[in-house]
Structure 1
Amino acid sequence: MLDIDEFTPGTGSYEWHLSGDRLLWSKGLLAVYGLTQAPDRGEGFFTSVHPEDRARIRQEMAEVCAKADRFEHRFRIVRPDGRLRFVLDRGVVVRDATGAAVKLSGVETDVTDVVDASTFPAGQGAAPAARGDGRMEEADVIDALFNDAPVGIGIWDRDLRFVKINPLLAEMNGLAPEVHIGKTPKELLPEVVDIDGVTSLLQEILNSGVAKRDVEISGCTPARPSERRFWKEHFFPIRSAGRVSGLAAIVEDVTEARKAQETIDALLHELNHRSKNLVSLILAISRQTARSRPDDFLPVFQSRLESMSAAQDLLVRRSWQDIELEALVRSQLPHFAELIGARIILRGAPDVVIPASAAQSLALAFHELTTNAVKYGALSNEAGKLTIAWQVSADGTGLQIVWRERGGPAVLPPSRKGFGSTLTGAMLQSTLSGEIEADYSSEGLTWSVKFPLNP
């Protein structure tokens, strides 16, 4: 016998072995039909089908066996006690190696309490014939909306068991449509966050008859068992004969929109943080420049801001990710581009990158070193040379940058420490958690910084 759940009210399973015309029914299906014993043959099944629906069901089943892999039928049955019931039948076709149908496996659900009898008109069942005047049938429109809607749609009875589900919602859940029928959300989706609370909400809608819109639900499903997904759902009651007979839901997967919003929020937070840091740095530079260079404050301050701006442009183009060290160095030598490769030598792997957090401070340091080289060092005459070299440590965790000037005027150690020295010394050391060395040899300045790439 089938491995089925025989204790779901109003739902039962069956197997129809076509080769021997044998029927196997679960206890649940016997209860739906009001029988104590399953019919031996298929013809016995048709005796329970409403006379006006038999021809249609025979034709539909013949078409299914001929070419379909799955099927769905809606028809009426007449129980032995004379009661009329409306049944939803869904299942799959099993075929042999030649492609011939050998078995039908399905689940039938009594949907009498959640459907309008007008959807099962006499002699037409759930699939009314086409109109002779060319106009669309209402049932065809409803089926098209249900099956092809760009949102998930589910319908439950008063026991919160699935009566119908459209392909998209089944895909969201990661379970075949027929697996849902007769099962509750808690049985199918136990990994949904606060599934008991969701169940209570659905019960509240059944009791109150009041719709609930824009309900956010999240959790994992068989579709993506290791990923938390987010859905926006709209629940509304279904009324039949003046009473709430079930409820329906429209479901939208908003996971990507949720992630996008979280990314935007994080970027705005980061932008706010960086903007405050940038303003603080500009204020510090303005105060220190005014204190140390009052006579030429404007040009010095402007050049330092231009250095920051060049670094900022690089960071923006890289979306505030790690940036290439060589690109940062070149951004601070805009007026000496023609000397690069001749009097200015860049020596280091071109793919070395530095953290975005280090870019502004290093840019200011390179700017100050370049300014001093133009005024007093290797770039102040026509013979001096400047070498900027960098190398990643053997274990890949640190970086050393060396600035070496040769061939310029004789160098003397500075008689006082101005803000430029602070930018290339204490401030940079603090920002990078690094080590700074400066050798004012008479043959030329050698300056180096060593810092961790992932502090």
Structure 2
Amino acid sequence: MPQDVNSLSDTGYQALDLIADMVCVGGRDGSVAYFNRAWRDYGPGFAAPRWMDWIAPAERPRVALEVRNAVGSGERFETDLPLVHPAGGARWFLLRVRPLTLPDGAAAAPRWLLSLTDIDARKRRELDLLRDTRIQAEMLNASIDCIKLVRPDGTLSHLNKAGCAALNVAEDGGFGMEWLGLLPREAHQAGWRALQKARRGENARFLGVSQVPGQDPRYWDNMLTPLKNGGEQVEAILCVSRDVTAQRASERRIAALLHEVTHRSKNMLAIVLALIRRTVPDAQAPFVAILGQRIAAIARNQDLLINGQWSGITVETLLASQTAVMGDVNRARLLLHGAAGLRLLPETAERVGLAIHELTTNAIKYGALSNDGGTVAIDWGVEARRAGDVFRLVWRESGGPPVREPAAQGFGTAVIERNPRALPGASVVYRYEPDGVTWMFEAPVSSVVDDVASRRGAVSDVARMD
């Protein structure tokens, strides 16, 4: 054991031999006066002045330069480094370099204490975390969506490349700015409401518009998702903004085309009605008026479908349209009870709508709405059955004069019975009962309901059409 290594006694060296860290005492010239037991035991040949040769080649020049600079300046220094291990591979250590001092604080001879602490497990966790973070960042950057991570206070903590380009933010700017400040002024109110909702732990969504001078406006669908910790507290908010400019343009083109198609089809219906009136001997004949009403019902169905972009019609909307002929007075005698928001497919809406119009006309002329006390109740909904879910709509008259089945079946019967029955799997029951007409339409949900999601958990309501 060396006897002349400033500021360390024999007892001190014995103590160094007992610790788990590798320790050596060296001079400014690169000489080494002492290696402790842990250093000597690391591997054959490691306890030598050229111990730095054991540092992984990729890191060796950096560590050698930093140690040289520290020793030359007399400053303390530490860094992480990988050492080749005799068993193969490399292990990470924390290198600390400290100048030795005398007990009274005066500088000793130019001696330095170097220690190596095994941090391999911790370092590999850090490297794994850095790798995962880098992969996640690359995944975000691969997306064409504008992806932002917003703190609960509304400041921006991360923005992917697409977001930086869309919002004109430098990728290496450090972020930290107010998220709302990056949005166009017109979107601030909607963005603020969405942010408040996300802070409460709820998903939020809003449409925004951005415009660069000299360019067309771009439309963004912004979706905010709160990210919660184990205590259900919102730690951050993920905002994904998707460019829907092309989609919006397509929707406008489709809407224009649909309106043009509807306009032409309604013109064709008007021409057909005009031809009928010019062809028949008596244009004021009752059947001409009835035919005109039926053509008008078809036109109203067309309006409903075009307004919904042929995506279906809610039952409530369909009933309101096809019972409009009863007027405001009789409308108070129409009772509706059914699942709110249930949407019918376009073909179903057309066939059922014409049947409802015909039933309404008959009720006004001969049935429950032909007197002052009758009512019409319409119930609809989805029923779970063994063979599958079934949509059911029932028209039930009561309080009207006695009705009886006509001796001959005409066009009205075809509209009420045969036309809706042509839908896949549909059945129609049409009965003349003592208290009034009952009409029931049933069909598999998959054949007639537009939005399958709308048939689950729909709220049933008793409503009066006022």
TM-score range, shorter chain: 0.3 to 0.5
TM-score, with normalisation over the residues of structure 2? 0.38
TM-score, with normalisation over the residues of structure 1? 0.39
Structure with larger Rg: 2
